[in-house]
Structure 1
Amino acid sequence: MSTATPAPLRDADAPSGPSAVGDVVAGARAAQPWWEGLGFAGRKKALDAWRVLILRRADELVDVIRAETGKTADDARLEVVLVADHLRWAAAHAGSVLRRRRVPSGLLMFNQSATVEYRPLGVVGVIGPWNYPAFIPIGPVGAALAAGNTVVLKPSELTPGVGRWLADTLAEAVPGPAVLRIVTGGGETGAALCRAAVDKISFTGSSATGRRVMAACAENLTPVVIEGGGKDAMIVAADADLDAAADAAVWAAMSNAGQTCVGLERVYVVAGVADRFLRLVGDRAAALRVGDRPDADLGPVLLPRQIEVVRAHVQDAVARGARLVVGGAESFAPPHVAPIVLADVPEDSVALTEETFGPVLVVNRVASVDEAVDRANAGAYGLGGSVYTRDRSRGRAIAGRMRAGMVSVNAVIAFAGIPALPFGGVGDSGFGRVHGPDGLREFSRTQAVTTQRFRPVLQPNSFGRDPGTMRTLVRMVRTLYGR
């Protein structure tokens, strides 16, 4: 395939609305053969240049993220760091993960050489969220680009500037046609992208919207990756380092004002250490600073309707007998919500069955780790989780029993910071994976090729075969595999 550079196909600004989707996808499809033709080495060079430019202008990206989300400077800086690391990994490893490789042909087909490789799909559509508008999209965007696809990104209508910034910097770093294109707008634009006959859609958002995305994609049999909501649980064993567990629990529940899909929403702590754990959690949560002040730990809850969801979850829990450890009605000062910690919440409360997506942490005591596992697994979601115990071997065993796509032992959300690990869930949390080798293959199509090296002595795949051919093959297989 030719690697000559076609004329640039960039837009001066991101097209807006459903009517723009067709032309944007067509432009991405026209650019794809050139991008694929660069090969793994050429794409790595291009993506590395983009990463270097992003880091050079990191403060600018932080400002754009903060302007659109209101999150604290450190929360925005964390996004930039993760963007750079995940982009670096995808560019560095796409060749080794996706390149053609030999596989054994087996005894019956020993005259054939067999290879498998992973080819680009073509054009990938990415529908991004507003809570981590740079880091979350970069997973599918980086993997899809590294694999040789072009990408059409629809950022959240709340954070279009971040998506535009990413596309503009890639265009600046990589001369040639735009391989990352943006289309902006609300749900109608996302639906149009799903129906635009792209080769795959990657969606991050609520489970309810994920179902609508799947329905729209089904019209063209467009495959999807769905990263839906979560209701992540932490299990605290009796031998856990309680100071470390409490510190991690508060950060995982409250950072980014609780607006994290893999944020912690539930803790199940063994009864013998529950009181001390609750005191430690309460002290840390109560000390957090909230608001627009420069030293704030928590910024705003971005969606006004989400504040009402948080309020309803807290009210339901209290009405059912839950105990407020930190916060309460006074925690709500829109657009801000101060930390709330609840204890002894009934398991059928919406605070434990539905995603809260705010700075609320439920801590419930259990008789044993076995009970904690059962409760953690009882919900519809299965995104992430964590386990705290001083026995790391036991911790890994407990993690293996949790119905979650990702679990950290003696840490929280560590899996999201490791680019080589797949990211995704089960149940209402969705399916498919981004990040790591699984994420690279997610945006590729598998192609198997066989090449005959020499004519076989026995040729079963012919109507002209010898009458005894099949009987001979049956005897061979019985001898080799029949005992």
Structure 2
Amino acid sequence: MTQTIAPPVASTFDSLDPRTGTVLGSYPVHTADDVAAAVLRARRGAQHWAGLTAGERRSRLLSWRSVLARRADELAAVISSETGKPLDDARLEVTLVIDHVHWAARNAEKVLGRTAVSVGLMMANQRATVEHKPVGVVGVIGPWNYPAFTPMGSVVYALAAGNAVVLKPSELTPGVGRWLVESFATPSGSPDGAPVLQLVTGFGETGAALCTAGVDKVAFTGSTRTAKRVMAACAETLTPVVLECGGKDAMIVDADADLEAAADAAVWGGMSNSGQTCIGMERVYVVDAVHDRFVELVAAKARALRPGPTDRASYGPMTMASQVDVVRSHVQAALEGGGRAVVGGAESVRAPYVDPVVLLDVPEDNLAVTEETFGPVLVVNRVADADEAVERANGGTYGLGASVFAKARGDELAGRLRVGMVAVNSVISFAAIAEVPFGGVGDSGFGRIHGADGLREFTRTHSVVSQRFALPVKLMSFDRGPRMAGQLVRALRLTRGRRR
């Protein structure tokens, strides 16, 4: 009888330039044992890092910021080669990273440090403080579309909060992850054998291993489907998670909007980075009175875009080859479902590039409206008024970001949208402001990165209540006497029973 021998599992994989297929580097496929060993080392690193003063951590992070700033073009070149995006787009990504490192380093102590809180009348003899302590080791699983900016929104805030981090970048962009980790090593001052920021590389199995390797929290960015698997794996050990799962972001254009600005924002928000942006515009709801003029402006701007392999191109290729099929299926579904293309069409999908596509009158239950396309495809639908636009924008299962272009009702409409973040008369601007929390609701996930909420996300709240002096009557004692509770209720009626 012949015995079938399974082929050996590859121990390395290659990173490729999606524009040319050129091999950029080879990286190890880290096993579950490798990941567990990294987490064990990180545990020692966490003890060292948390043992530093807040000022010492701040100094090291600001030194890292300086490294990133001085070597910004070097990092941008790595991003550009692994994602295919034009170099200037990669440079823009790096500037956002630097700003977040700066803000997190300078504000962590103020946000997380011990603060006194009110104790109330009943506990007037007590003193209460609240502080936020690091959770320990954080596992970060990053995406490929913004391979520096997105994972660093967790990495930097986790580090600033006093944690050690194990980063697992996408298998499409391991070089960016390695560059970030190596750039941190010198200014961090970590002792040998106790690294504060480490890298593990590989495919989905490596990320799954990170979820079960004993980390104290997992920060994941990726698809909703994968996020559910991450959450299920972490549930086995009650490991908390923060999940950013993409979206189907909508723009609302009201009758009094600046149409030129709105059209420019829609095209850039929907098609920059080849449309591979979780907070990119995919649906635009335009009030009937200005719909036709808005479509004219959008169509003209979209037709002027030229994807390609050079830095002069408007945007680059689809970074993940399989995403081309997703884009193709959404465009076909829209056209077969009654929508019409005013720019591009099925012929626009020519792997590894996708030319701009602008679709009109796509039914709300169509795949191109309900599911994330993640390509340079914009669906523009007519609505009677802005209230209908809000209803449609809120009709899906995602809830990450949104944009509103309006003069009179901008803030009001923004407040009614079921999303985590809204830009009024701009697009994606919330991602560029370090102090603004970033995250979604529904199928877009939960938890927040960036800002004060992003710092607290990687901590555990620690409360301490200390008695300042003894009261003549013990409220929390079996010796308090039979009448004390009744007297306390009467006192509370006088002080708390009023309507104001």
TM bucket normalised to smaller: over 0.9
1:348 corresponds in structure 2 to: 365
1:198 corresponds in structure 2 to: 215
Spell out the pairing of 1:120-199 with structure 2 (5 A cutoff): 120-177=134-191, 178-199=195-216
CA distance in 2, matches of 1:67, 1:446: 41
Percent identity between the aligned chains?
61
1:464 corresponds in structure 2 to: 479
Amino acid at match of 1:406: M
Aligned residue for 2:283, secondary structure, equals strand
Check the 8 A contact 2:85/2:316 in 1, yes or no. yes
Aligned residue for 1:382, secondary structure, equals coil
Using structure 2 for the length normalisation, give the TM-score: 0.92
Deviation at 1:389, TM superposition (A): 1.1
Spell out the pairing of 1:79-94 with structure 2 (5 A cutoff): 79-94=93-108
2:464 corresponds in structure 1 to: 449
User: Is 1:402 the counterpart of 2:438 in the alignment?
Assistant: no
1:10 corresponds in structure 2 to: none
Aligned residue for 1:105, secondary structure, equals coil
Q: Relative to 1, partners in 2 of residues 1:160 and 1:17: Cα closer, same or farther, differing over 3 Å?
A: farther
Which one of the candidate residues 19, 24, 35 is aligned to 2:38? 24
Which one of the candidate residues 78, 83, 87 is aligned to 1:69? 83
CA distance in 1, matches of 2:178, 2:196: 13
1:439-480: per-residue Cα shift (whole Å, max 9, x none)? Answer: 000000001100000011221211222232222212211221
1:234-289: per-residue Cα shift (whole Å, max 9, x none)? Answer: 00001100000000100000000000000000000001111110010000001001
CA distance in 1, matches of 2:137, 2:231: 17
Aligned residue for 2:282, secondary structure, equals strand
1:270-309: per-residue Cα shift (whole Å, max 9, x none)? Answer: 0111111001000000100111133101100012211111
CA distance in 2, matches of 1:175, 1:216: 33
User: Is 1:60 the counterpart of 2:70 in the alignment?
Assistant: no
Check the 8 A contact 2:251/2:404 in 1, yes or no. yes
CA distance in 2, matches of 1:122, 1:347: 45
Amino acid at match of 1:165: W
CA distance in 2, matches of 1:128, 1:301: 17
Check the 8 A contact 1:14/1:164 in 2, yes or no. no
Deviation at 1:36, TM superposition (A): 1.0
Which one of the candidate residues 182, 204, 219 is aligned to 2:236? 219
CA distance in 2, matches of 1:47, 1:298: 32
CA distance in 1, matches of 2:188, 2:237: 32
Which one of the candidate residues 253, 257, 266 is aligned to 2:283? 266
Aligned residue for 1:133, secondary structure, equals coil
1:213-245: per-residue Cα shift (whole Å, max 9, x none)? Answer: 000000000000000120000000011000000
Using structure 1 for the length normalisation, give the TM-score: 0.96
Aligned residue for 1:420, secondary structure, equals coil
CA distance in 2, matches of 1:204, 1:135: 11
5+ long unaligned stretches in structure 1? 1-12
Deviation at 1:125, TM superposition (A): 0.6
User: Is 1:102 the counterpart of 2:113 in the alignment?
Assistant: no
1:241 corresponds in structure 2 to: 258
Check the 8 A contact 1:459/1:469 in 2, yes or no. no
1:314 corresponds in structure 2 to: 331
Amino acid at match of 1:201: V
1:433 corresponds in structure 2 to: 448
CA distance in 1, matches of 2:242, 2:491: 44
CA distance in 1, matches of 2:421, 2:303: 29
1:414 corresponds in structure 2 to: 429
User: Is 1:474 the counterpart of 2:486 in the alignment?
Assistant: no
CA distance in 2, matches of 1:267, 1:294: 29
Which one of the candidate residues 354, 362, 367 is aligned to 2:384? 367
RMSD over aligned CA atoms reads: 1.1
Q: How many residues align?
A: 469
1:188-222: per-residue Cα shift (whole Å, max 9, x none)? Answer: 11111111121100000001100000000000000
CA distance in 2, matches of 1:467, 1:239: 69
User: Is 1:207 the counterpart of 2:230 in the alignment?
Assistant: no
CA distance in 2, matches of 1:174, 1:448: 29
2:14 corresponds in structure 1 to: none
CA distance in 1, matches of 2:311, 2:432: 26
1:402-453: per-residue Cα shift (whole Å, max 9, x none)? Answer: 1110000000000000000000000000000000000000000001100000
2:302 corresponds in structure 1 to: 285
Check the 8 A contact 1:18/1:185 in 2, yes or no. no
Deviation at 1:14, TM superposition (A): 7.1
2:129 corresponds in structure 1 to: 115
